[in-house]
Chains A and B, each alone.
Chain A
Amino acid sequence: MTIHKKGYYGDFGGQFVPELLMPPLLELEEAMRTIVPSEPFKKELNALLADYVGRPSPLYRCPNLSKELGFDLWLKREDLNHTGAHKINNTMGQGLLTKYMGKKALLAETGAGQHGVATATAAAMLGLDCIVYMGAEDVVRQAHNVKRMKLLGAEVVPIESGTKTLKDAINAALRYWIAEQATTHYCFGTAAGPHPFPLLVREFQAVISLEARAQCLDKMGRLPDYVVACVGGGSNAIGMFHHFVPDETVKLIGVEAGGTGEPGCYHSAPISLGTPGVLHGMRTMLLQTSEGQIEPSHSVSAGLDYPGVGPEHAHYGATGRVRYDIAVDDQALAAFEALCRREGIIPALESCHAVAWVLNHAAEIPKGSQIVVCLSGRGDKDLGIIEAHEAKLGGAK
């Protein structure tokens, strides 16, 4: 990986923020240099990950789907983490860092509410205050997660501006951070945003591939042929890819959300279908008009519904180290059903995009291959969406 300027991955990344945000970003860079690699911090974080989050997460071979597909399909079970997704890896890391930095509150944005819940959880456990910015539309759509955050003691602020979704929550959270930077750490939810967030979030999510690589060597006796993860902002994917990036024989596949799939539909696939630009503090691939206005995104899975992507993914897309493809809503829903029925696992719709890629590309994958998919979260949160989809199809199956 080449970072020729501070915080850049090739042509992507950077720090496109108001000057008023530079001091807290510089302070965070300093904390990353001094606190994160220190022994007391590492020891305390590892203990929390083991005893509170439940790591290491299993690498599990799907016996039934593997038999049908003719190659081995393995799941990295991030859905078994406390709070049900990979998000907690990041929030425990940033939460602990916040304490070491001497700040007293965590600020987070959330779309579907998973990162909000994971931040509220870390805050409650670590004795920090928590404020979560959430688009007003999402507050309505994700009422259960709002309730969870409140139970955990967080204040949830609905954002009424713009499209009233994740990107507007990020705008509002950045504004709040300008005013409250002395006491508050912005616990960014994905490996995106201004430097050093893409690096910081990767640092805490890389535990996924650190474990998975060792588990592959242990269980397969070799490295896998494919590693597949869904990409919204891209935190589970960058965590899943990181320790495999130098392994040139391992094909890395990032799966973006194609939305409903008809030509011209709203989607969330900026690497595959977008253009380079600047949003939320980073130069990256974006969904935007030719005049540089950000376009609305869409996916059946709220966690992938974002018009940008982390800059390291944009870089790997440009260099070709990672192949980025698209799975559409219906393919994700079919993968959802396959995992439920064949393997007894109810997966998050986000993760279903990664599983869908495997099912869609089964014909091109050689028999006997070893494929690892990051099952980034569990699907209980998506039951409302599944029910609505079944109703649209004319009644539950």
Chain B
Amino acid sequence: MSQSILTARIMEALGAGRKALIPFLPGGFPDKERFFDELAALDAGGADIIEIGVPFSDPVADGPVVEQASLDCLLNGTCLSWLFYELEKRKGQYRAGLVLMGYYNPFLQYGLEQLAADAADAGVAGFIVPDLPLEESGPMREALERYGLDLIPLVGLNTSEERLAAYAKNARGYVYFVSVLGTTGMRESLPTEVKERLAAVRRIFSVPVALGFGIKSPEQLYAFGDLVDGVVFGSALIAHIKAGGTAAEFMARWRG
């Protein structure tokens, strides 16, 4: 199987002597027009991968900031068909690898085979599905693989080495390490066990490791040294845009 675009983007960042930057932006946020402006700004601002949120009425793994943004986007009519249609028009415009992140039911109702086909046509390189653990991931992973797309595994502080190894067997793209036992949202400090568990993840997975959930500032990353290849930020970016800021300013700060 060919190397994943997502792996390649992270390796390019590491080759340039920095961590990969992986912003998360809810699809259709802050509104359907400005979403594509912000997406372009994230891309131009140095994002290596951009995770685009697909809204769901019942986002069980999200904190209040992402949940509210997601519900707002549902109200403004954001849906998968719209995202695919608009992304396909802009296909090839982005340097960053594009990943769709969303809950399983909207993907399931779209039809997994159709989803994979349309995502590939729209230039999407992978999916993250927070409510699809290893046990249930087979059908979606198989559909995505037929179109060369990655299903990014999410693992965390309480994932045993046995389960890490089971995830690692099929992992493509990168592995998303959830740094807190909680939901998405910003934290002032990250627990010390994170480092230990990250070392296990590093040892067990051959794909790059991205750290997410609770990341607030670039300084938090220094402590992890070589254990981390990339960083995901979501709530911080949403809060920044809600407060009137732009994606360009945000990226400038993280690029350092």
Contacts and interface: CB of A to CB of B under 8 A. Distances in A.
Nearest to B153: A19
A294 B132 contact: no
B106 A292 contact: yes
B105 A19 contact: no
B184 to A, nearest CB: 10
Contact of B105 (A14, A161, A292): A292
Interface residues of A, number: 32
B108 A292 contact: yes
A4 to B, nearest CB: 13
Nearest to B180: A179
Contacts of B135: 6, 14-15, 22
Interface stretch (B26-34, B42-50, B118-126, B157-165): B157-165
Given A293-B74, A294-B58, A277 B108 contact: yes
Interface centre among A14, A19, A277, A278 (most CB of B within 10 A): A19
Interface in A4-24: 6, 14-20, 22-23
Given A20-B156, A175-B182, A14 B58 contact: no
A292 B110 contact: yes
Interface string B130-168: 111111100000000000000001111111100100000
Contact of B133 (A18, A171, A278, A291): A18
A181 B182 CA distance: 10
Contacts of A178: 61, 181-183
A contact patch SS: mixed
Interface string B164-186: 00000000000000101111000
B109 A288 contact: yes
B64 interface: yes
Interface residues of B, number: 43
B56 A18 contact: no
A161 B107 CA distance: 23
A291 B163 CA distance: 32
Interface centre among A161, A168, A278, A288 (most CB of B within 10 A): A278
Contacts of B181: 20, 178-179, 181
Contacts of B59: 171
Contacts of A15: 133, 135-136
A23 B132 CA distance: 14
B104 interface: yes
A367 to B, nearest CB: 47
Interface string A170-183: 01001100110100
Contacts of A19: 133-134, 153-156, 159, 163, 178
A14 to B, nearest CB: 6
A162 interface: yes
Contacts of B64: 161
Contacts of B57: 162, 293-294
- CB-CB nearest 4 A-B residue pairs: A292-B109, A292-B106, A292-B105, A179-B182
21 contacts: A16-B104, A16-B132, A17-B133, A18-B60, A18-B61, A19-B155, A20-B158, A22-B134, A22-B163, A168-B58, A175-B60, A175-B182, A178-B181, A179-B180, A179-B181, A179-B182, A181-B181, A279-B58, A280-B58, A292-B105, A294-B105
